[in-house]
Amino acid sequence: MSPPKATQSNSLRNIVIEAVTPTIDCARYPVKRIAGENCVVEADIFGEGPTALAAVIKWRRAQDVSFAEAPMALIENDRWRGEFPLAENARYVFAIEAWTRAFKSWNEYFMKKAASGLDAASDLTEGIALLENIGQRACAKDRNLIADHIARLRALENPRQAVAIVSAPELAAVVDRNEERSDAVNYDRTSAIVADRPRARSGAWYEIFPRSQGIQPGHHATLREAEARLPDISDMGFDVVYLTPIHPIGTTYRKGPNNSLIATPDSPGSPWAIGSSAGGHMAIEPRLGTLDDFDHFVAVAERLGLEIALDFAIQCSPDHPWVTEHPEWFRHRPDGTIKYAENPPKQYQDIYPINFDSPDQKGLIEELHRVVLFWIEHGVKIFRVDNPHTKPVAFWEWLINTVQEKHPEVIFLAEAFTRPKMMRVLAKAGFTQSYTYFTWRNTKIELTEYLTELTQTAMIDYFRPNFFTNTPDILPPILQDGGRPAFKSRLVLAATLSPSYGIYSGYELCENEAIPSTEEYDHSEKYEIKTRDWNRPDSLREFVARINAIRRGNPALQQFATIAADLKK
Amino acid sequence: MSPPKATQSNSLRNIVIEAVTPTIDCARYPVKRIAGENCVVEADIFGEGPTALAAVIKWRRAQDVSFAEAPMALIENDRWRGEFPLAENARYVFAIEAWTRAFKSWNEYFMKKAASGLDAASDLTEGIALLENIGQRACAKDRNLIADHIARLRALENPRQAVAIVSAPELAAVVDRNEERSDAVNYDRTSAIVADRPRARSGAWYEIFPRSQGIQPGHHATLREAEARLPDISDMGFDVVYLTPIHPIGTTYRKGPNNSLIATPDSPGSPWAIGSSAGGHMAIEPRLGTLDDFDHFVAVAERLGLEIALDFAIQCSPDHPWVTEHPEWFRHRPDGTIKYAENPPKQYQDIYPINFDSPDQKGLIEELHRVVLFWIEHGVKIFRVDNPHTKPVAFWEWLINTVQEKHPEVIFLAEAFTRPKMMRVLAKAGFTQSYTYFTWRNTKIELTEYLTELTQTAMIDYFRPNFFTNTPDILPPILQDGGRPAFKSRLVLAATLSPSYGIYSGYELCENEAIPSTEEYDHSEKYEIKTRDWNRPDSLREFVARINAIRRGNPALQQFATIAADLKK
């Protein structure tokens, strides 16, 4: 009877790799992490017998070709763990490879057999054959070490004396380096990892209408004038200044105070009614100044340690250049006129929604991409996206991926106050951060439940909340009714529960006058210029500064890990 | 300004379909169900706006080409549900399709607009255009109904009078039948469904060594003699008679009583030492009789309402024909001799394990497939598989899929007592049922925890437990020490906690003599013929019959649903 030939590569692999983490929706969407961290990877890995296994994470930046490897180790119950470095602000991918450690398996078996006093001569011959095979693939130095060990093994009188030689650590190291992965199994159904910059996770935001940042009451401030407020905002300890839209505002059907249909001659119009003869999404409202003024504004902010977040609202006033240049990007009535936004009985004659089902969808989305790139070229690295849930999720996935491929530093905040599953899928599809329901979560049980959802479910891997206490659209009941103590407590809650949080300016002055039975501000800044005395003695500015200083001084407040641990208790 | 052309098919779809259930490991493995049931499917389905959606399950048998459709309906919070019939014992696949209901969306919008007193003439024109478009695709009868409605709409003086016409149920039905799914989104990353026959889920098993079923003490019974026990087993209310291997037993290194290395001249040998000059896995041990006798045995059992489960143990005695015909299917020592099983210090000279890494892997697995088909042709529809965890999981996945493609009625029970993740992946890969840890779960908390794991986790969709109280290899401590009350309570627990359960014969006689400090039976039937007095007055046979009768009379005991509901409380 002759021995069979060397084992060929077979199709039935013996090693199982499953339950790989992190992953989102069967690897449909990327996992979010922060550059500079290590990405911890776990998997269930096991074979059919008592053989020794090895496993590695194979990882690379998405744009690279070749994989680097990071070792995995058994934790317990067939669970393995390893980690790889997310050194850069970039997108990464990983896979897992596992294989049988043939020599180690043999070694463990041989030790047991030798220890039990059974004849191990034949087994030793097998071990030597394994070593010879490994030696053939090794460099000269390793090959010599292996040859030396083989020679010593061959010289033994009793195979049981081999134990010390085959267990030598220097031999194990050489074997590990050179052993063939002949039965390697690969698992590559893993999620990509987006390694964002730290600001993606934590930051204190301050929202302003630039035109309201002047000193003279009722005066439409320019960007140059608004610059004067930046040191103030920086002193309060904020990281991000979010500007409501700065583009030319339409005049057709311009809204007056309190959203009235009749604008007064000096009504500035809603900044979200974008576009006029002065331009559209790539222009600056003339009363704010010029692109140069904007560049200057960004530069001054940067010197103060402040980043600018720009509003990205995909909609048009009837005066937007796209209306005449690209009528096919809008919805039309049978008579050919363009439809304005409607939610009967409400009508928004000053806003034309975009039609993403446009026959020129390609031209449309490429123009929107150009808008984002335009502002990136002007120093903007954060976009607060208006109502993303009214546009196709697939559009955002494409846009954010495409932008971040070249500009991984860019952050997108989703302003979607809508049903929970839509909010989640926008985050999965790529939004760096998301607005939340925090604004309406007041009691201990409400906050505990919400933070549990955010930190103890799959959301922790893709949904980064940004807790806003208020917005120009939302003056929640607790602030309307709770007065100064409510403003202080809601600020502390937002700033300490979530790594990212924000306030809309005026909050520090405890502004709380609403249109009755609504969450709308009375005389909303959306339709009027508000000139405030920021130095009022009753301002919470010192309190805000103290809270932001505490946030900056305590890394625990810049991440969810500690909240998550507390909630698990 | 001219209206844009009709919307073309666009790449950015608006509808999201996710969180589809049932599914296992990202659709890597099939979900298990029972033929005759409906398969309930759920998914999160939503679009970006307030538009009305429709969704269907598209389903078919795996071997068919065209899909049937079953409607889905919104439950709440963007969760949809539907179901489709698993009429046959077969494998099924399903997908989900969702689309915008253009006319219904228009209708809802039109109703709101008309109700709010706004001018709706243009909107009505749009609705008529939608109806015209639908009419073009309809059959003559539907087209006439639509034309009739359009004519009535055109005749109206005030568009608001259209409300009753466009909301007519007969119009809605015609629209639903004929509307184009122009923006349909498909989700096909769904698990296959294996619809097994009911015995896959529930049954009472009784394990016997056929050779021990005679009357004369120590006499090796034939299958013809063993038949005489079948009415007895049927009277006790069992559904399945599981036979330990019935193949020729090797003589080389045959084991004697209590696994001793020296067989006495009348030692029958272990039935798991398969193969002799009389044949291998497709032959009958000559002392049991012939294939004709086996066919007769199966037929008699069938008349009594009993199914036969055969043992499928992939290993050989040194005398198995494969050893000389296919030496390449075994592992070899450097000197060319075949290796027997070893787990130092233990050695099993009577057993040659199979080498699935064989250079002739294809020939090997095809022969194993033939073995299974051979017994299927002889009326066997249930296989109890010995130690599947020591063979590649991928082999079982291939074998079970391949067998069930032609023989969906065949049931495979995995006898794997090993680490939890291996037990689970064998079930996922295709085993119909699995042995469990029940044998060692005694206290209330242990049983509650175990049943919670089996019924409240993903396992409910793929892992069907078969609770054995004992096996020829396992006489658990509680039975060794607890006497008759333990035998009664463990029987009741096994029979009422799990839809499938089994006992190894002798249980009803409360046999509990173990080799000290082990779970091995003293004088195990594996190596000796045991002739028992089944009519002993202290037998639990009446008790067993009563329990099995209660099981048969109560559907709640034939499924996990009620246990699952109790544990959820």
Give the residue among B459, B501, B509 at the shortest CA–CA distance from B484: B509
Whether the pLDDT of residue B8 is over 60: the answer is no
Give the per-residue pLDDT at B14: 85
Whether the pLDDT of residue A144 is over 50: the answer is yes
Phi, psi of A532 (to 5 degrees): -115, 155
Q: Touching check for B261 and chain A: CB below 8 Å?
A: no
Q: Where are the alpha helices (DSSP H) in B66-222?
A: 102-115, 121-137, 140-154, 162-166, 169-178
Distance CA B561, CA B557 (A): 9
Instruction: Tell me whether residue B235 is exposed, middle or buried, using C-beta atoms within 10 angstroms of its C-beta: 0 to 12, 13 to 18, 19 or more.
Output: middle
Q: Read off the pLDDT of residues B225-265 as tens digits, 9 standing for 90 and up.
A: 999 999 999 999 999 999 999 999 999 999 999 999 889 88
The arithmetic mean of pLDDT across residues B68-95, rounded, is 97
Distance CA A35, CA A26 (A): 23
Contact B183 A46 (CB under 8 A): no
Distance CA A528, CA A218 (A): 8
Sign (positive or negative) of CA dihedral A3, A8, A13, A14: positive
Distance CA A329, CA A365 (A): 10
Instruction: Tell me whether residue A118 is exposed, middle or buried, using C-beta atoms within 10 angstroms of its C-beta: 0 to 12, 13 to 18, 19 or more.
Output: middle
Give the pLDDT band (50/70/90) at residue B11: low
Distance CA B264, CA B257 (A): 8
Give the pLDDT band (50/70/90) at residue A5: very low
Q: Which residues pair with B73 in a beta bridge?
A: B81
Contact B46 A361 (CB under 8 A): no
Q: Read off the pLDDT of residues A408-424 as tens digits, 9 standing for 90 and up.
A: 999 999 999 999 999 99
Give the per-residue pLDDT at A8: 37
Distance CA B293, CA B310 (A): 15
Largest CA distance in chain B: 108
The arithmetic mean of pLDDT across residues B175-188, rounded, is 92
Distances (CA, A) of A456 to A316, A558, B20, B72, B383: 40, 17, 21, 31, 43
B467: helix, strand or coil: strand
Distance CA B473, CA B70 (A): 49
Give the per-residue pLDDT at B5: 35
- The continuous run of DSSP H or E covering A524 comes out as none
A122: nearest CB among B2, B333, B421: B333
Q: pLDDT over 70 for what percent of chain B?
A: 98
pTM of the model: 0.94
Cβ(B72)–Cβ(B81) below 8 Å: yes
Task: Supply B337's token pair.
Answer: 């001799």
Torsion (CA) A387, A391, A397, A398 in degrees, nearest 10: -130
The arithmetic mean of pLDDT across residues A475-489, rounded, is 98
Distances (CA, A) of B340 to A109, B275, B317, B331: 14, 14, 9, 8
Instruction: Tell me whether residue A184 is exposed, middle or buried, using C-beta atoms within 10 angstroms of its C-beta: 0 to 12, 13 to 18, 19 or more.
Output: middle
The arithmetic mean of pLDDT across residues A357-384, rounded, is 97
Q: Touching check for A480 and chain B: CB below 8 Å?
A: no
Best probe of the A interface among B7, B28, B42, B48, by most A CBs < 10 A, is B48
Q: Read off the pLDDT of residues A249-289 as tens digits, 9 standing for 90 and up.
A: 999 999 999 999 889 888 999 999 999 999 999 999 999 99
Show residues of chain A in contact with B29, CB under 8 Å. Answer: none
Show residues of chain A in contact with B11, CB under 8 Å. Answer: 361, 394
Asked if the bond preceding B345 is cis, omega within 30° of 0, the reply is yes
Output DSSP code: residue A58.
Answer: E
The arithmetic mean of pLDDT across residues A528-544, rounded, is 97
Q: Read off the pLDDT of residues B282-328 as tens digits, 9 standing for 90 and up.
A: 999 999 999 999 999 999 999 999 999 999 999 999 999 999 999 99
Residue that the structure tokens 């996992």 belong to: A31
Output DSSP code: residue B429.
Answer: H
Distance CA B138, CA B150 (A): 14
Output DSSP code: residue A483.
Answer: H
The arithmetic mean of pLDDT across residues A184-210, rounded, is 95
The arithmetic mean of pLDDT across residues A291-299, rounded, is 98
Q: Where are the alpha helices (DSSP H) in B257-386?
A: 291-303, 321-325, 361-377
B48: nearest CB among A359, A365, A392: A392
Surface of B (173-232) touching A: CB under 8 A:
183, 189
Q: Which amino acid is at B312?
A: F
Task: Supply A341's token pair.
Answer: 């936004």
Whether the pLDDT of residue A50 is over 70: the answer is yes
Show residues of chain A in contact with B77, CB under 8 Å. Answer: 419-421
Whether the pLDDT of residue B9 is over 70: the answer is no
Give the pLDDT band (50/70/90) at residue A191: confident
Give the per-residue pLDDT at B7: 36
Whether the pLDDT of residue A541 is over 70: the answer is yes
Show residues of chain B in contact with A4, CB under 8 Å. Answer: 327-328, 332, 358-359
Give the pLDDT band (50/70/90) at residue B567: confident
Strand positions, DSSP E, B394-533: 411-415, 433-434, 466-468, 500-504
Give the residue among B485, B544, B448 at the shortest CA–CA distance from B233: B544
A126: nearest CB among B334, B347, B421: B334
Whether the pLDDT of residue B2 is over 90: the answer is no
A445: helix, strand or coil: helix
A559: helix, strand or coil: coil
Contact A357 B25 (CB under 8 A): no
Residue that the structure tokens 């194979």 belong to: A58
Distance CA A444, CA A31 (A): 30
Distances (CA, A) of A93 to A31, A65, A464: 10, 11, 20
Asked if the bond preceding A22 is cis, omega within 30° of 0, the reply is yes
Cβ(B322)–Cβ(B275) below 8 Å: yes
Task: Supply B137's token pair.
Answer: 């695709």
- Note if A183 is an active site residue: no
Ramachandran category for residue A379: left, alpha or beta (phi over 0 → left; psi -120 to 50 → alpha): left
Whether the pLDDT of residue B195 is over 60: the answer is yes
CA A444 from centroid of its chain's CA atoms: 27
Burial A77-104 (b: 16+ CB within 10 A, else e): ebbbbbbbebeebbbbbbbbbbbbbbbb
Contact A129 B394 (CB under 8 A): no
B78: nearest CB among A14, A26, A419: A419
Contact B357 A7 (CB under 8 A): yes
Surface of B (365-384) touching A: CB under 8 A:
365
Higher pLDDT, B567 or B235: B235
Distance CA A214, CA A228 (A): 8
Cβ(B98)–Cβ(B54) below 8 Å: yes
Whether the pLDDT of residue A4 is over 70: the answer is no
Show residues of chain A in contact with B421, CB under 8 Å. Answer: 16, 18, 44, 46, 77-78
In order, the DSSP letters of A290-356 are -HHHHHHHHHHHHHTT-EEEEEE--EE-TT-HHHHH-GGGB-B-TTSPBPPEEETTEEETT-EEB-T
Give the residue among B320, B286, B302, B309 at the shortest CA–CA distance from B502: B309
Whether the pLDDT of residue B4 is over 80: the answer is no
The pLDDT mean for chain A works out to 94
Cβ(B86)–Cβ(A317) below 8 Å: no
The arithmetic mean of pLDDT across residues A374-399, rounded, is 97
Give the per-residue pLDDT at B536: 96
Q: Read off the pLDDT of residues B466-496 as tens digits, 9 standing for 90 and up.
A: 999 999 999 999 999 999 999 999 999 999 9
Give the pLDDT band (50/70/90) at residue A11: low
The arithmetic mean of pLDDT across residues A85-105, rounded, is 96
Surface of A (524-563) touching B: CB under 8 A:
none
- Note if A386 is an active site residue: yes
Contact B48 A393 (CB under 8 A): yes
Contact A14 B365 (CB under 8 A): no
Q: Which amino acid is at B132?
A: E
Whether the pLDDT of residue A563 is over 90: the answer is no
The arithmetic mean of pLDDT across residues B85-91, rounded, is 98
Give the pLDDT band (50/70/90) at residue A72: very high
Whether the pLDDT of residue A6 is over 50: the answer is no
Which candidate in A97, A207, A225, A415 is catalytic? A415
Q: Read off the pLDDT of residues A503-517 as tens digits, 9 standing for 90 and up.
A: 999 999 999 999 999
Q: Which residues pair with A33 in a beta bridge?
A: A195
